Structure 1
Amino acid sequence: MNYQPPLVVGHAKSTKIVIVGAGSVGVTTAYALLLSGLAAEIVLIDIDKNRALGEVMDLSHAAHYAQAKIRVGEYVDCAGAAAVIITAGVNQKPGQTRLDLVQTNHALFENIVPQIVENAPDTILIVATNPVDVLTYSAWKISGFPVQRVIGSGTSMDTTRFRHELGRHFGVSPRSVHAVIVGEHGDSQLPVWSLATISGMRLQDYCGQAGIDYAHDDMEECARKTREAAYEIIQRKGKTNYGVASVLVSIIEPIITNGDAIMTVSRVGTYAGVENVSLSMPCKLNRDGAHQDVPLLLNASEQEALRKSALSIKEAIMSVEK
């Protein structure tokens, strides 16, 4: 029996996605997107065209089992793209924080973003390059796009890691854990304990019903592992790529399908009284971008922690606006 490739979803028949940056995150995202059936055409752009061509040649062999076409392109090929994902930039090295990368990668965005805007004025920008919150702001400011059309991957990855850690601790699937990380995709990120639930119950209530102890120290350890996960992975293998690639595809999906999915992504706005800053809160994603329709109900201590996170990002933003 011959292999039958998966059916292409209806929205994918003419959908083009462009990825700027053929590093590990960009290429892994291209691979995940290729197999997802969400796009008809994937274009990979990189300053190192020879490397990009080699990646596309390799990916084309995977495309035998998919419906999408993949090719190397130029910025002119952004025309007509439903979304442009920016992964290009200097990677975080062992011992570095994400904010350490701000000056170099902001300068890179000053070159990349105008070329995208010139060729795709109606696209949605998705930023994955770190520090993602600062660069989401940079992409918004440089592009002149409405805030809903410039989306950072933000704490969507941290939220996934957080649910993984809580699921492992409580012995349930991460899919059964409803908990979010908001604020900075970085050291000042905020786990929203007051709204975390399993089976519709707050964590303390779930423990009471399950006959297990609720230990504050254990919860803090889950938050620490979430916060430091990327540092540990980078220390061991030099990069992170699989998790963020899967998150980027999950962000793309409701944009292409007009799915109205809620995810914690980074968007420019006013948070805890701090204006014109980009950080992550739950947003509804659809073909028009990211919308913050319903404010997250935080308690007083969480509001203060969110303000500190916003001020940390704001300081980094101001350092590149001088």
Structure 2
Amino acid sequence: MSRIPRNSVAVIGGGGNVGAAIAFSLIAKSVPAEVLIVDVAEKAAKGQALDISDASFMMPGTCRQATFQEAGQSDVIIITAGARQQPGEPRSNLIDRNYKIIKSIMDSLKPIKSTAKILVVSNPVDVLTDIAQKVSGLPREQVIGSGTYLDSGRLRNALSNITGVSPTSIHAYMLGEHGDNQFTGWSSARIGGHPLLEHPKMHDIELDSIYTGIQRKAYEIIDAKGSTYYGIGICAATIAEALLNNTSQVFPVTNYIEKYGCYMSWPAAIGSDGVEQSFDVKLNDEEAKKLETAVHAIREACEKYE
């Protein structure tokens, strides 16, 4: 009897740190799937696959190197490949370079399985998710991005340290754009059904300092070790697990919001069909203005690739 699981998750760019962290997280989380490592750098992909497969002997998942054609027939396709923004480089240049990379990847994957779900992790994730959907031809609900899930995790960790409540019991999100225009949804934040800001330990807290700490954390990690990958690794693996296991969990992921006419980082329930439903989030006037700014920035960037 073959040990190869029925479901498969392909990690495009799996030879790099982010892709490898996602692949390893899938195995370590005991996700019962065949994890396929795909990369134009075939030697790196082979090495990561061999190393991660050593960790799978006591787990239900397996890991191996694969081709782009095999990846196109996977149940979940995770895109981590992309160009990094260079010091002083305009964001528009980064999008142009990543557009070419995403298009090349999608062409290499074709024919893409009609029921496949694509999860984009590459940045700028909101814009690249829009591009991936257009190029792949898959329905919008089947193409999502990692969005502000990691940012929201950082927020919940910070709030846990203040309130003494587990991060998993704090419902608070970073919203809008995964980038400079993201904002904290303080109006909708809750602990145990009560407004977060009414918690006694939040009364004297400077909210802007929490936001600033979250914004700076990635830069602090990059300055210290060159790149971030463990945090996004576990986040992407958790989203993939929800797609495979039809958990209907709510994550602040990049998904298409009809009301605003664009992909953006917003809470949505994720299941085997992709985005099952997205949710209205209570915002005050200041937060609503920040959302408008984020939407404008995303739409302006996406319109170039219509």
| TM-score normalized by the length of structure 2 | 0.92
What is the aligned partner in structure 1 of residue 121 from structure 2? 128
1:18 aligns with 2:10: yes
> 1:96-107 counterparts in 2 under 5 A?
101-107=94-100
- Which residue, 208, 212, 225 being the options, matches 1:220? 208
What residue ranges of structure 1 are gaps of 5+ in the alignment?
A: 1-7
**Alpha-carbon contact 1:77-1:119 (below 8 Å) kept:** no
What is the aligned partner in structure 1 of residue 292 from structure 2? 307
Separation in 2, partners of 1:104, 1:113: 15
Separation in 2, partners of 1:59, 1:97: 36
Alpha carbons of 1:98 and 1:41: their partners in 2 closer, same or farther (altered >3 Å)?
farther
What is the aligned partner in structure 2 of residue 141 from structure 1? 134
**Alpha-carbon contact 1:18-1:45 (below 8 Å) kept:** yes
Alpha carbons of 1:239 and 1:171: their partners in 2 closer, same or farther (altered >3 Å)?
same
1:280 aligns with 2:265: yes
Separation in 1, partners of 2:230, 2:93: 23
**Alpha-carbon contact 2:78-2:121 (below 8 Å) kept:** yes
1:262 aligns with 2:255: no
Separation in 1, partners of 2:88, 2:219: 8
**Alpha-carbon contact 2:147-2:177 (below 8 Å) kept:** yes
What is the aligned partner in structure 1 of residue 35 from structure 2? 42
1:316 aligns with 2:301: yes
- Which residue, 110, 116, 120 being the options, matches 2:109? 116
Alpha carbons of 1:79 and 1:173: their partners in 2 closer, same or farther (altered >3 Å)?
same
- Cα shift at 1:37: 2.0
Q: Deviations over 1:85-140 (max 9, x none)?
A: 00011235667787662111111001111332414232000000001001000001
Q: Look up the equivalent residue of 2:277 and give its one-letter code.
A: Q
Q: Secondary structure, in 3 states, of the residue corresponding to 1:85? A: strand
**Alpha-carbon contact 1:86-1:125 (below 8 Å) kept:** yes
**Alpha-carbon contact 1:91-1:239 (below 8 Å) kept:** no
Q: Look up the equivalent residue of 1:24 and give its one-letter code.
A: N
> 1:167-316 counterparts in 2 under 5 A?
167-207=160-200, 212=201, 214-215=203-204, 218-271=206-259, 274-275=260-261, 277-316=262-301
Number of residue pairs the alignment of both structures matches: 303
- Cα shift at 1:238: 1.2
**Alpha-carbon contact 1:17-1:42 (below 8 Å) kept:** yes
Alpha carbons of 1:213 and 1:149: their partners in 2 closer, same or farther (altered >3 Å)?
closer
Separation in 2, partners of 1:166, 1:97: 33
Separation in 2, partners of 1:176, 1:56: 35
Q: Look up the equivalent residue of 2:10 and give its one-letter code.
A: V
Separation in 2, partners of 1:53, 1:246: 21
Separation in 2, partners of 1:95, 1:157: 25
What is the aligned partner in structure 1 of residue 83 from structure 2? 90
Separation in 2, partners of 1:58, 1:173: 33
What residue ranges of structure 2 are gaps of 5+ in the alignment?
A: none
Q: Deviations over 1:52-86 (max 9, x none)?
A: 11111211211223232211111221254110000
Separation in 2, partners of 1:227, 1:250: 22
| TM-score normalized by the length of structure 1 | 0.87
Structure 1 vs Structure 2 CA RMSD: 2.2
